[in-house]
Amino acid sequence: MPIVAQSTETTDWVSRFADEVIAESERRAPGKPVVVASGLSPSGPIHLGNLREVMTPHLVADEVRRRGHQARHLISWDDYDRYRKVPAGVPGVDETWAEHIGKPLTSVPAPKGSPHPNWAEHFKAAMVASLAELGVEFDGISQTAQYTSGVYREQILHAMKHRRDIDAILDQYRTKKPAKQPQKSQKPVDEAELEAAEGSGAAAEDDGSSGSAGYFPYKPYCGNCEKDLTTVTAYDDDSTELTYACTACGFSETVRLSEFNRGKLVWKVDWPMRWAYEGVVFEPSGVDHSSPGSSFQVGGQIVGIFGGTQPIGPMYAFVGISGMAKMSSSKGGVPTPADALQIMEPQLLRWLYARRRPNQSFKIAFDQEIQRLYDEWDRLEAKVAGGTSQAIGAGGGSALPADAAAHSRAVRTAAGELPRTPRPLPYRTLASVADITAGHEDQALRILGELDPANPIASLEEARPRYDKAEAWINTHVPADQRTVVRQEPDAELLKSLDEPSRQSLRLLLDGLADHWSLDGLTHHVYGVPKVQAGFPADATPKELPPEIKTAQRTFFALLYHLLVGRDTGPRLPTLLLAVGQDRVRTLLGE
Ligand SMILES: [Zn+2]
């Protein structure tokens, strides 16, 4: 296999994990591709926070590929898991979906109006589209497809044969007896009660049940009602004959496990089985799976039964969301990666994950913070572009090596550059322009063309997709009372009430307007007017000026905001002035 020199410096967490993962893979399976894995449950809209489950191994796999090794990033779709609850707020779904609780996610109907064949496929599709936009290359594995086609048959029979060993391992971590599964009853059991009894949410971990026939790490889905409310009542190792009874519908049957494909290993056994089956070397997990007695820790012991070894598995910290409290997501009340990609370019989202170690928590901004984040990103881009730093770890330039590495991981993968916005104008400016022009693209283009008259943009396409993201942010995440509405008519009363210094400041501004009509020019001009008014040159530096100038500037800016948009704040003034246009500025300022 090709061995390319390792990067000269290990500058960031991704490089360090790649070092470890490559070495470990060579030790375990010499000459084979490096296997990293993620698991996602399409039990509802896949939360943006869960993207870390994918981005962490993605970035490591990508670094492995950059070094010339082969890597497989498996995404295990846990679509054969039981449907646990009906998520709130999903369009096209009502309370009747509760009747499917207990069935595999692929046996639950998709929300009404969905083009997808079932529940799992519906939510998987949205995630797949986001991963494509993010440049995440992966092999998706449907656990429904695996289990129902008998791919894991040997592993299932092996687990059943060694059920006492598995039970003994699990027993070390059991603090209390597992909740008794309801025994065969005459009448169907209320599923809501069962659901409440076992705890809710996908994080609830299942390690199998011990009935009168002993412990079994395998659970069939009922042949009559398709639900997993079944209890194995007998199993014969030699014939592999298994008898189960369904507590939901009363159905019972005896099957031969050597040819039966409608059931699965319980989660705490299923996960380590797959580590062994796929040869997974790296799979991080969230805090909920990493605590003592959790599935990752227990899996580390169970994996040996399947002849495998536990992967390197860092715990990743929680990813928070800011600014989504007021704005509910369009898809089920939780922000999804698609929601984030509506308002930010994939590079920015990749960067958020790349620059923080997995054990560091961070927030993804849907509020005003996104503008600051973009400013920071643009500064980094400028530093990287200005420096000599080309490759990860090369250092140089003015970007710190770790920052340059995070930038590189954000903008490209081993497969190439992610599509870029040709003219990445400041997000803040684009957001203001979208805010003020409210969907009028011709106006937006005029304003954007005037930002830099020496090198004007010729078409809105040059500013896309960043412009579209900023526009989506304004339209979906900025509350109506924070939107900018330019006055239709001058505020005659306010204009009439102005004192002489205020009138003079407006005259100074208007006199120089035409000569300063660009983003840089107007920036200089609006700060310069109060200086000139106080008898200083327009380009005097803060050191040459008395502190009162700052107050005068603030007062002047507030006056302009009032006259232009009827409030005391708004988008940055140079952007606002360009957006309003020279003629209208003159009218509104009382010329
Ligand atoms: Zn049943």
For the stretch 200-235, pLDDT in tens is 233 334 677 777 789 999 999 999 999 999 999 999
Ligand 1 geometric centre to CA of 517 (Å) = 74
Rounded to an integer, what distance in angstroms lies between the CA atom of residue 51 and that of residue 320?
11
Find residue 35's DSSP bridge partners: 72
Please state, in angstroms and rounded to a whole number, the distance separating the CA atoms of residues 542 and 528: 11
Condensed to tens digits (0 to 9), the pLDDT of residues 15-32 reads: 999 999 999 999 999 999
Is 183 a residue whose pLDDT tops 50?
no
Residue 33, preceding peptide bond in cis (omega within 30° of 0): no
pLDDT tier for residue 479 given thresholds of 50, 70 and 90: confident
Rounded to the nearest whole angstrom, what is the distance from the C-alpha of residue 248 to the centroid of ligand 1?
5
Neighbours of 514 (CB within 10 A): 10
CATH class as words, domain 492-588 = mainly alpha
Residue in the block written with tokens 């889905």: 221
SS (H, E, C) 525-575: HHHHHHHHHCCCCCCCCHHHCCCHHHHHHHHHHHHHHHHHHCCCCCCCHHH
**Distance between Cα 241 and ligand 1 center (Å):** 19
Residue 178 pLDDT level (bands cut at 50, 70, 90): very low
pLDDT tier at 457, thresholds 50, 70, 90: very high
| Distance of CA 188 from the midpoint of ligand 1 (Å) | 9
CA-to-CA distance for 494 and 46, rounded, in angstroms? 52
* pLDDT tens, residue by residue, 530-559: 999 999 999 999 888 999 999 999 999 999
The amino acid sitting at 540 is A
37 Cα: distance to centroid of ligand 1 (angstroms): 33
Ligand 1 (single-atom ion) residues, CB below 5 Å: 222, 224-225, 246, 248-249, 251
Q: Region 348-364: what's the mean pLDDT? A: 95
Tell me, what's the pLDDT at 25? 98
User: pLDDT tens across 100-123, in order?
Assistant: 999 999 999 999 999 999 999 999
Q: How far is the CA of 266 from the centre of ligand 1 (A)?
A: 18
For residues 478 and 351, what is the distance between their CA atoms, to the nearest angstrom? 23
Q: Which of 83-87, 217-221, 477-481, 561-565 has the lowest mean pLDDT?
A: 477-481
* pLDDT confidence tier of residue 276, bands split at 50, 70 and 90: very high
pTM to 2 decimals? Answer: 0.86
pLDDT value of residue 206: 65
What pLDDT does 389 receive?
Answer: 45
User: DSSP 3-state assignment of 35?
Assistant: strand
Fold for domain 13-203+266-319?
Answer: Rossmann fold (3.40.50)
Task: Tell me how far the alpha carbon of residue 239 lies from the centroid of ligand 1, in angstroms.
Answer: 24
What one-character DSSP code corresponds to residue 104? B
SS3 per-residue string spanning 164-193: HHHHHHHHHHCCCCCCCCCCCCCCCCCHHH
Cα–Cα distance measured from residue 312 to residue 161, given in angstroms and rounded to the nearest whole number: 28
Q: What angle do CA 224, 226, 230 make, to 5 degrees?
A: 85
Expressed in angstroms and rounded, the spacing between residue 230 Cα and the centre of ligand 1 is 7
157 contact partners, CB below 8 Å, separation of at least 6: 240, 257, 258
DSSP letter, residue 218:
E
Q: Is the pLDDT of residue 591 over 90?
A: no
- For the chain, the structural domain boundaries read 13-203+266-319, 368-477, 492-588
Most confident listed range (317-321, 421-425, 438-442): 421-425
Considering the chain, what is the average pLDDT of its residues? 89
The predicted pLDDT at position 325 comes to: 57
Three-state SS string across 473-486, please?
HHHHHCCHHHCCCC
Other CB atoms within 10 Å distance of the CB of residue 106: 22
What share of the chain has pLDDT > 90, as a percent?
75
Ligand 1 centre distance from Cα of residue 252 (Å): 8
- Give the span between the Cα atoms of 179 and 171, in whole angstroms: 14
